[in-house]
Chain A
């Protein structure tokens, strides 16, 4: 329990650090980008919206940094992330809440599948060292060096076309309205297959490699030899003795590398024009839409923190040592 509380405290601290970074970064922008944008939308912005932008992006010359910081927090806590310029005059929070479920489902499900598949193959590759599984390593090395988005481009080039089953872009058929019915769900799944496959192929190799290395290290431990000597079946030794112990570092590695994976998957969304936050971020970048960019960064960070917390809980359940009192 103490361990758990420590982790929660750490994530709260990290969230605070990320929000503070988010507060400081726009204040380093040379010149006055907000003023430029305000001028561009002259007459369309209410004075209240302009005020809110100045709180979010600084440049309010009357207030000192601390006062700005306090009002920034107040605004965040009331859920106000400003107005988006690309989708003027929609609030940023509304745009993000529309696109976040797409990303969470796509990235969440594929990451978990990739972790399970990679760990499974890694167990095999580590245990049966010197068999055909050694051939996996060079292949996966190559695949993990390919940028996610390039793999996506190649997938579109090779697998999509007028007659293909795989659609090349979007999250669902153009004629459909998002709803939980028998037309929309299959279409959404069909559109997510190719992006999911791309993410899977390029992320699975990391898990294979780390799990293989852990298996190799663990399988020379004394307790493995003892288990063999007791006459337990090879399968039992591999699964209940070696894999179980090799899994722990991989789970904590899972938590730590989430940030890297999420960064890569955002790019896949861009290539496939998938309606998630990555694609929104791309559109925001093109239009210098600072409020949307900041909001998306904040949401991504907080999602990764929550996922990390979940991985910690899994670790807690797997490793009895962390449950020990004191």
Chain B
């Protein structure tokens, strides 16, 4: 049985003609777990507001009740259902996160790749611009800007976050473009007379995909945290629900003093799990691009003489079968 299984495995790759593995990225365990969690959040963002058991704003008679069969995550000071608020809030969080991520990524690609590819004075100006945005603390800036916009809507908040958080990615992309610019295939494309925009979109961008994707995921994490922070400190309107709004009311109504852990723990965990899943996707991308970073698995090997040998890059430990003299 075992023997035949082994031969099957060995034969299989030979029988199937070498095919390009489309979903190799998903084979990475970290990325797969991250994408799976992200998909659940995505589904909840779409259907969340439709499947809420209660109206998240509706008052009830059970004030500050712990979780029960009727209210899975307890109730607030007005008898509102925390679980419904959490479900309703998912859409806003996901929307702002991804919208801001897209805005920032588009900006960073335009600025970073242009700076890296064109060079010269353009590069100096664009680099200085992105460095300025990098050094100015983004969160206080976002707070100041949104506080001047009265009760800003989600898309406006996402725009503000996107417009202030592109600089890190632009910097990384510029560095990457600089290293690609003098490679042979780019030189060849230029020599055959391809236009600049074509060199950028068809020669450079495909090679920057991983960097862009990882930057996008990073910005989404930042945008989600920023939006929740804004809602938590009460800058944005308290009538649309997101997880920060729940925390805002919990903090304002002394949930801590009332021992109402169910009021603030679920929202925080929801943020943390979303953040973790995005970070896992990012690790997946990093390890996909640079295989060295993968966890090496077990590196300590016990020889039969009882000594332990640690495997290291650049070394080939020899494990002898026969006992040493």
Provided the pairs A29-B148, A220-B292 are in contact, do residues A145 and B128 lie with their beta carbons within 8 angstroms? no
Is A260 a contact of B139 with CB atoms below 8 Å?
yes
Binds A, one of B38-46, B68-76, B97-105, B275-283: B275-283
Binds A, one of B12-20, B183-191, B225-233: B225-233
- Give the contacting residue for A25; candidates B148, B168, B251, B300; CB below 8 A: B148
B256 within 8 A of A: yes
Interface of chain A, main secondary structure: helix
Is residue A264 within 8 Å, beta carbon to beta carbon, of the partner chain? yes
A17 engages B274 (CB within 8 Å):
no
A129 / chain B contacts, CB cutoff of 8 Å: 295-296, 299
Asked whether, in the complex, the Cβ of B140 is within 8 Å of the Cβ of A296, the reply is yes
- Size band of the interface chain B makes with A: 35 or more
Cross-interface CB contact of A285 among B233, B271, B311, B315, cutoff 8 Å: B233
* Partner pick for B247 among A11, A28, A150, A286, CB 8 A cutoff: A150
- Which label, helix, strand, loop or mixed, suits the secondary structure of the B interface? helix
Contact B311 A130 (CB under 8 A): yes
Per-residue B-contact encoding for A135-162, CB less than 8 Å = 1, 0 else: 0010001101111011001101100000
A121 within 8 A of B: no
Residue in chain B with minimal CB distance to A256 = B134
A13 is an interface residue with CB less than 8 A from chain B? yes
Evaluate contact between A297 and B295: CB separation under 8 angstroms: no
Nearest-neighbour CB distance to chain A for B204, whole angstroms, equals 24
**Alpha-carbon distance between A142 and B278 when the two chains are bound, in angstroms:** 11
Given A153-B256, A270-B233, does the pair A145, B138 have CB atoms closer than 8 Å?
Answer: no
Say yes or no for B313: interface residue by CB 8 A criterion. yes
Q: Which residues of B contact A224 (CB under 8 A)?
A: 314
Q: Assess whether A51 is interfacial by the CB under 8 Å rule.
A: no
B237 interface residue per 8 A CB criterion: no
- Residue A44 CB within 8 A of the other chain: no
Interface flag for B317 (CB, 8 Å)? no
Interface footprint category on A: 35 or more
**Are A293 and B144 interface neighbours, CB within 8 A?**
yes
**Interface 0/1 of A251-289, CB less than 8 Å to B:** 000001011101110110011000000000110011010
B313 neighbours in A (Cβ, 8 Å): 219-220
Contact A145 B292 (CB under 8 A): no
Candidates B235, B247, B293, B295; contact of A130 at CB < 8 Å:
B295
Of the candidate stretches A79-87, A173-181, A299-307, the one touching chain B is: A299-307
Asked if residues B131 and A14 are in contact (CB atoms below 8 Å), the reply is yes
The list of the 4 closest CB pairs from A to B, nearest first, reads A145-B275, A263-B139, A130-B299, A150-B268
Measured CB to CB, the residues of B under 8 A from A are 128, 131-132, 134-141, 143-145, 147-148, 150, 168, 221-222, 225, 228-229, 232-235, 247, 250-251, 256, 261, 264-265, 267-268, 271-276, 278-280, 283, 286, 290, 292-293, 295-300, 311-315
Q: Would you mind naming 22 contact pairs between A and B with Cβ atoms under 8 Å apart?
A: A13-B128, A14-B136, A29-B148, A130-B295, A141-B276, A141-B280, A141-B283, A142-B272, A146-B271, A150-B264, A150-B268, A153-B264, A168-B256, A216-B292, A217-B293, A225-B314, A256-B135, A260-B222, A263-B138, A266-B139, A297-B144, A301-B140
